Every structure is written in C-alpha cells, then in structure tokens.
Structure 1
Amino acid sequence: MKIKLQEDVLKNQHLAAAFNRETFKKNHTLVINLMSSPGAGKTTLLEETIKALMNEFHMAVIEGDLATELDAERLRSLGVKTVQINTVGGCHLDARMIAKTLPDFELDTIDILFIENIGNLVCPSSYDLGQDYKVVVLSVPEGNDKIPKYPVMFRRTDITIINKIDLLPFVSFNLEEAKKNLKEINPQAQFKALSAKTGEGMEEWIHWIKDAQRQCTKP
C-alpha cells in the first residue's frame, strides 16, 4: 500500500501573508506592491508619487533589491522612512521578508506603505505579500509584446501602468494595443498611461491612490 503525503510547501508564506494583511488592515494602512522589469521606472514613479502626496499622507517604503541601497537612498532623501531588503540574488520578495520589516515601522501612523519589488516580470507575481493592490509598471521602450509574453504577471495585477509615454514618438509602442492585450488577459485590471518624468497622466494615478487610501480608513 502506498501512502501519499501532501504538504503545502508555501504554507509559511501563506500564513505570513495573512498576518501581514491583518496587521495592515488593523492599522488602516494602504499597501501597494509595485512590480516591473528592471528599468521600467518604478523608483522614479515612486519618487514623484511621494512628492505629490507628502503634504497629505504619512508614507513609508519597503525597498526590495538584489543588492545595494541606491534606490532606498533616493527615497530616503525625500524624508520618507525606507527599509531595505536585499535578497542577495533572490528574484522576488515574499511575505516572510515583509513581516520581518514590520517592527521597523510605526504602522499606526502610516497612511500608505509602498513595496517596491524586485525588477522581474515573472517571480514577484506569484507571491502574496499581504498587500491591498498589486501594480505592474511597463515602460513603452519595452515593447508591446510584454503583456502577452508574461500573462501571469498581468493576470494577477489590479492596475497596469504604462510609463514613459513621453517616449511614444520615438518608439514603436501602441497604447491601444496594450490596452486590448490587457483586457484579454485581465478584464478587471485598470489601465493607466503616464510619464513619471514629465508628469503627464500622473493626476489620475494620484487620484486613484487617494481614493484607495480613504477606503482603508473606513470602518
């Protein structure tokens, strides 16, 4: 007789995600998990987002990177509490990593916590960090093939941001095609096109964050 043993290898990951989510909910902290490939402009988007919201909300950042604190230092220069997680080669953040950083924050004073994930369009999509929203950033120089080539990432996100639209005249990227591809993969996902560098389209993104944060504060 064969005995079949089964165990969820991600059990601790799921428990940590549930712990994080309950902690964030208890403190009415909006948590946004930002994901993208390297160079899509996550950190620049985060810098400009923080600048636009800093007079209205208390924010903090968990910065994921393979190595160095270069991006974290950029965010700290804005006066925002930023905790660095170096994965030393790991391709994603997981909920246990996030849980270990939480004692570094006074969550009851933080309105919005941004998690900047590792630059990768594959691994981060599979890991629940306990966030409220997953947001993927795609830049126009990356091309229109990325949404259909990485369907898991775009299927599991709440918002897709097309960044660097100031470069549209210089590259062969079609916004309507990107919107169509996203709708086919994830009809519920929101689609926002902007340039973090010039500010074009940023107002809609900022308005969405404000609305999302207000929802967090409702009993």
Structure 2
Amino acid sequence: MLAFNLVSSPGAGKTSLLVRAVAELKQTRPVAVIEGDQQTSNDAERIRATGVPAIQVNTGKGCHLDAAMVDEAYRKLPSLRGGILFIENVGNLVCPAAFDLGEACKIVVFSTTEGEDKPLKYPDMFAASSLMLINKIDLAPAVDFDLAQTIEYARRVNPKIEVLTISARTGEGFAAFYAWIRKQSEKARASVTAQALSAATV
C-alpha cells in the first residue's frame, strides 16, 4: 500500500481533485481516502459518493492530522494491499509541513487563483513536498497566472520538487498525475525487492 499526504490552503481544490482521481483509479487498484477537517463530514461524503471508502477525521481546534489519528482511521478501512491511500490533510500550509503521517510523499496542491508567491510565503510546506500539483490551470489566463514564475519560486525552496499542472474541473493533466503515481509505486516495489534481497544475503 502506498500513501500520499495531500496538503494545501483551504479552497485549492484537494477534494475535487480526489473525487475525480479516486473514481478513475479505483478501476485498476484498491483506493481509499482519509479526510481531515476541523469540522463536518462533507468531504468524506463526496468521496464515498464515488464508491470509494473514506474515513472522516475531525480535528476540532487542531490545524493538522497526526500519525495517531491516521492510524486509527486506517484500521477502519478495508484492505488496501497493493493499493493507494490518499490522506487529505486539513487546509493549512503551515502546521502539516512538520508532521510525518507515514506517507510515501507529500503532495502540495496549489491553485492558480492563489497567486504565484505561495512557495515563498510558506517555504516549509513546499520544501517538504515531493510534488506540486498546480490546480485550476484552466483559469490561468483569466487570473493572469505566471506559471514559470511559480515554478521558479517553488524550486528556490525545493530544487527537487516535481511540478504538474491539472484541472479538477476539466480533467486536464490527470493522465500525467496517474503516471507519476505509477512511478512512485514502481519505486516502492523496487525498494521492497532490494531490501528483501539484502536480507536474504545476510
């Protein structure tokens, strides 16, 4: 099972992105979602409407999920052997950066409507993330969004961050996102195989 921790500002489009992604990915592998919000179960209900299991975790006054919360929620999910777990963290670009939830990668979702300088304002989150998904790319012309400048800012704080542009509304860029997920799955399998071979030779 491969876990991804999705982080963003409120309103960047994490849930809309996941609704589309899990509905398509569930055709080929087990998929589940852990939803983190301070209140309500609205996001988990949207995920469940796709037929994918989702557990809602309400943090109350807390501004992020922690490993204990995720562990408790994970135990309530069906088996995800060979599958994918998406953890949608509380909408916040500060607190979640410092907390490891056991994920393979953090994915920061950033929308064109937020302006170009979020990576400079919240460097810890972008430094901790392996992938930046620039959502609402279909709105870029309307808001005069400078894609090249945004990528340059992100790579100032994290030279290794990968970048993909997507639109949760139109589906643009999702094929590339799924290819990225497959690449992470292959890396994880290769790592497990290498560890097994190493253990066998000891």
Q: Same fold (TM over 0.5)?
A: yes
- Conservation of the 8 A alpha-carbon contact between 2:117 and 2:153: no
Alignment of 1:38-117 (within 5 A): 38-109=10-81, 111-117=83-89
The residue type equivalent to 1:95 in the other structure is: A
Give yes or no for contact 2:23–2:51 (8 Å, CA) kept in 1.
Answer: no
- One-letter code of the match for 1:163? N
Residue 200 in 1 paired to residue 172 in 2? Answer: yes
Provide structure 1 residue ranges, at least 5 long, that are not aligned to the other structure. 1-28
What SS does the aligned partner of 1:38 have? coil
CA contact (8 A) 2:110 2:134 kept: yes
Runs of 4+ in 1 over 2 A off after TM superposition: 105-110, 213-219
Find 1:131's aligned residue among 81, 85, 103: 103
Report if the CA contact (8 A) 1:163-1:194 is conserved: yes
Tell me if 1:31 matches 2:3: yes
| Deviations 1:139-167 (CA, angstroms, capped at 9, x unpaired) | 00000121111111101100011100100
TM-score with structure 1 setting the length = 0.84
1:108 positional shift = 4.9
2:100 is equivalent to residue 153 of structure 1: no
SS in 1 for 2:61: coil
Structure having the higher Rg: 1
1:110–1:83: structure 2 CA closer, same or farther, 3 Å change rule? farther
SS of residue in 1 equivalent to 2:177:
helix
Residues 88 and 110 (structure 1 numbering): CA distance in 2 closer, same or farther, change over 3 Å?
A: farther
Q: Name the count of aligned residue pairs.
A: 191
Paired residues of 1:154 and 1:185 also in contact (CA < 8 A): yes
Q: Percent identity?
A: 45
Partner of 1:188: 160
